[in-house]
Amino acid sequence: MACDFYQLATPGVQGLHPYQPGKPVEELERELGISNSIKLASNENPMGPSPVAMAAVQAALGESCRYPDASGYKLKQALSERYGISPDTITLGNGSNDVLELIGRAFIVPGDEVIYSQHAFVVYMLVAQSTGATSVVVPAREWGHDLDAMAAAITDKTRIIFLANPNNPTGTWFSGQALQAFMAKVPDDVVVVLDEAYLEYVTEADYLSGVQLQAGFPNLVVTRTFSKAFGLAALRIGYAVANPAITDLLNRVRQPFNVNIPALEAATAVLGDTNYLQRSVELNRTGMVQLEQGLTQLGVNWIPSVGNFISVDCGRDAAPVYAELLQEGVIVRPVANYQMPQHLRVTIGLPEENSRFLTAFASVLQRL
Ligand SMILES: *Cc1c(COP(=O)(O)O)cnc(C)c1O
């Protein structure tokens, strides 16, 4: 009889389901035989990549027969200069999802508890599940993290707490003061992972990066990415900032060559392209206003967001709305798997993409 390989997998892995990414444009067009569709489904940068970064990629391709610099020296220097962080606090990852996994693998044994919020980024659940941890999901407050309730959920078994600021898919955020008050309640042997994937978009005066608090809280690990505001999602590069002891542990778990040469070069280059980041953030700001105004005109509610996306309340089951938008060549993201069955998450696009979404959305809501 054939072996049942599912029974061989660890209990954690048996409970996993494959990650559902945003639908690629090519796939939709192949399936429906249409063209000219737009994707506002994965919080990608709509401007296209930085030309400076792409020139660096071109130049780096000639080194493709070589292994990359496993220490990521140049990029760490650039990050160090830009953010005032020491190179020995940086762990580079194949996207920040990679470092989120490294943190799980470094610290979790089956039976440990991992705390995160309802509606939080799905990768925290995946890390907990795949390492055999028990997920403690704390109910959200007004869609955002309820930090008091999360602190109250800590037990002797808690090993990691995942926070996202801002959170995806809700776009909610919390202040530096709230973060500091939270950290003061967390025992120092519980690792707090603060995911700052959308940090660059946040303009709120009360917002504070966790990096500013790490001197006082050595158990605070901050993760960041080049996938969003820096426009390098395809190249897969992100990093963690943590105290040197945690960084040393993460680098033991890390595959030696987890970040490739074009990614290292592009990330280093885009850090120097300040104009690109400014334009990304400005485009996002105006696009957010455009979408909010359009949604107001349609009488549709949304969750106020400080990210590069907005979760829109369809006022009904969102699945048929999503399906009809696909027919119109507009790909957005269903978030029913985040316990948000009435919402669709829409990435801020170029002005014409935002208009196209608004027009398609109005027409779909009317005919459904
Ligand atoms: C997009 C996103 C990431 C980044 O993932 P990468 O692996 O760096 O592309 C991390 N956290 C959150 C909350 C995100 O939305």
- CATH number, domain containing residue 301: 3.90.1150.10
What is the pLDDT of the chain when averaged over all its residues? Answer: 97
- For residues 170 and 262, membership in a common domain is answered with yes
| CA of residue 360 to ligand 1 center, whole Å | 27
- On whether residue 5 sits in a domain, the answer given is no
Question: What is the domain count for the chain?
Answer: 2
Instruction: Identify whether residues 189 and 266 lie together within a single domain.
Output: yes
Looking at the CA of residue 169, tell me the nearest atom of ligand 1: 15
Residue 359 CA, ligand 1 centroid: distance in Å: 29
What is the full DSSP assignment across 216-247?
A: T-TTEEEEEESSSTT--GGG--EEEE--HHHH
Residue 231 belongs to domain with CATH number: 3.40.640.10
CA of 367 to the centre of ligand 1 (A): 35
Tell me the whole-structure pTM to 2 decimals: 0.97
**Residue 357 within a domain:** yes
| C-alpha torsion angle, residues 17, 23, 29, 30 (rounded to 10) | -20
How many whole angstroms from 296 Cα to the centroid of ligand 1?
A: 29
314 assigned to some structural domain: yes
Query: Do 255 and 344 have their domain in common?
Result: no
71 and 125 co-located in one domain:
yes
SS3 labels along 150-204:
HHHCCCCCEEEEEEECCCCCCCCCCCHHHHHHHHHHCCCCCEEEEECCCHHHCCC
For residue 241, the enclosing domain spans: 51-272
* Averaged pLDDT for residues 229-235: 98
Q: What is the pLDDT of residues 265-308, one digit of tens each?
A: 999 999 999 899 999 999 999 999 999 999 999 999 999 999 99
The number of the ligand 1 atom at minimal distance from the alpha carbon of 195 is 11
- pLDDT at residue 226, as a whole number: 98
Give the Å distance between the CA of 265 and the centre of ligand 1: 20
**Above 80 in pLDDT, residue 1?**
no
* Domain's final residue, options 272, 307, 327: 272
- The ligand 1 atom at the shortest distance from the C-alpha of residue 225 is 8
Q: What is the chain's Cα-based Rg?
A: 21
Strands (E) located in the chain: 38-39, 90-93, 113-117, 134-138, 158-164, 191-195, 220-225, 238-241, 301-303, 309-313, 330-331, 333-334, 343-347
Which residue has the least CA distance to atom 15 on ligand 1? 168
Is 89 a domain residue?
yes
Mapped onto helix, strand or coil, the DSSP state of residue 19 is coil
* DSSP state for residue 144 in the 8-state scheme: B
Whether 164 and 127 share a structural domain: yes
- Give residue 3 CA to ligand 1 midpoint distance, Å: 36
Q: Does 208 reside within a domain?
A: yes
Residue 360 lies in a domain: yes
- The per-residue pLDDT for range 70-110, each reduced to its tens digit, is 999 999 999 999 999 999 999 999 999 999 999 999 999 99
Q: Are residues 286 and 212 in the same domain?
A: no
Q: Whose CA is nearest to atom 1 of ligand 1?
A: 197
128/245 same-domain check: yes
Q: Which of 272, 305, 336 is the last residue of a domain?
A: 272
In a domain, 32, yes or no: yes
My answer on whether 78 and 212 are in the same domain is yes
Query: Which of 101, 170, 227 most suits a substitution to test ligand 1, by most atoms within 8 Å of the C-beta?
Result: 227
